[in-house]
């Protein structure tokens, strides 16, 4: 069976990564969460003190961040106990750190920086070189792999996404409110679709899937059958 590249793009908290992971497991493909890579860079920036916030302003020391990034190693490692792939920054597993609200509040700003995007896009292309990958993000079908054999554009209503994310954060013990999560999602949607560099867009040939009222499993099965139809 010929391996292909499956690009899954869409708004935040649409269940992209859960679905992409399951599709990858079913097809025995590699799963790459590019959002986790932007989050890892944001974590690096916060850790090294390259982000400073005034009352009205946010400043990122881009030059220092790019240097630090080029000296860092971002990689995914499969955790066979949990059956998931986890992200490491310079040998440290940072899965938990990158999912908190602190990283979430700054990641859109970091993801706007053209030099950071160019560096991560090159890494992502390298990771997908051998095909047999499911990659999710915002610009996979438009920028990273415009030649991907299957492109999916995932959507779900704002309220459903906020509710799902709120429950997820609660389970992790984060202190937050539904309203705060909804606002974060609205802000990220706006920034993802309005930024100058690689804004979130549906690729022309992408298949749109709205999962507001479908189960994860239904969407997984739909994507797997689309892959099988390609044969």
Contact flag: residue 192 with ligand DC (CB under 6 A): yes
Contact flag: residue 184 with ligand DC (CB under 6 A): no
Nearer to ligand DC, 28 or 47 (CB): 47
Scanning 84-92, 133-141, 176-184, 216-224 for contacts with ligand DC by CB under 6 A, the matching segment is 133-141
Nearer to ligand DC, 97 or 192 (CB): 192
The CB-of-229 to ligand DC minimum distance in angstroms stands at 26
Q: Phi first, then psi: give them for residue 32, nearest 5 degrees.
A: -125, 120
**Residue 128 corresponds to which tokens in the numbers above?**
């997908």
Q: In the range 26-45, which residues lie near ligand DC by CB under 6 A?
A: 34-35, 38-39
Measured CA distances, 53 to 46, 98, 187 (Å): 11, 19, 17
In 3D space, the residue among 18, 48, 5 whose CA is nearest the CA of residue 156 turns out to be 18
Q: In the range 44-83, which residues lie near ligand DC by CB under 6 A?
A: none
Answer whether 141's CB lies under 8 Å from 7's CB.
Answer: yes
| Count of residues touching ligand DC (by CB under 6 A) | 13
Answer whether 83's CB lies under 8 Å from 75's CB.
Answer: no
Contact flag: residue 11 with ligand DC (CB under 6 A): no
- 87, 188, 211, 219: which one binds ligand DC (CB under 6 A): 188
Beta strands in the chain (DSSP E): 5-10, 30-33, 51-53, 58-60, 74-79, 84-89, 92-93, 133-137, 150-155, 207-210
Q: Which residues bind ligand DC (CB under 6 A)?
A: 12, 34-35, 38-39, 107-108, 111, 137-139, 188, 192
């Amino acid at each position: 069976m010929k391996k292909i590249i499956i690009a899954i793009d869409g708004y935040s908290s649409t269940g992209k990564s859960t679905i992409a992971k399951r599709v990858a497991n079913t097809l025995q493909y590699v799963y790459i969460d590019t959002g986790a890579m932007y989050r890892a860079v944001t974590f690096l920036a916060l850790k090294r003190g390259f982000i400073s916030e005034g009352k009205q302003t946010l400043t990122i020391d881009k030059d220092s961040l790019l240097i630090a990034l080029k000296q860092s190693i971002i990689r995914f490692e499969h955790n066979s106990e949990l059956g998931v792939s986890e992200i490491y920054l310079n040998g440290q597993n940072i899965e938990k750190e990158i999912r908190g609200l602190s990283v979430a509040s700054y990641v859109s700003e970091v993801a706007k920086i053209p030099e950071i995007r160019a560096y991560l896009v090159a890494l992502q292309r390298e990771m997908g070189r051998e095909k047999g990958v499911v990659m999710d993000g915002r610009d996979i079908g438009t920028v990273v792999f415009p030649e991907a054999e299957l492109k999916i554009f995932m959507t779900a209503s704002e309220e459903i996404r906020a509710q799902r994310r709120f429950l997820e954060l609660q389970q992790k013990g984060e202190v937050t409110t539904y309203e705060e999560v909804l606002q974060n999602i609205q802000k990220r949607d706006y920034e993802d679709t309005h930024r100058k560099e690689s804004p979130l867009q549906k690729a022309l040939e992408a298949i749109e899937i709205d999962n507001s009222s479908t189960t994860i499993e239904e969407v997984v099965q739909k994507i797997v059958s689309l892959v099988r139809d390609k044969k």
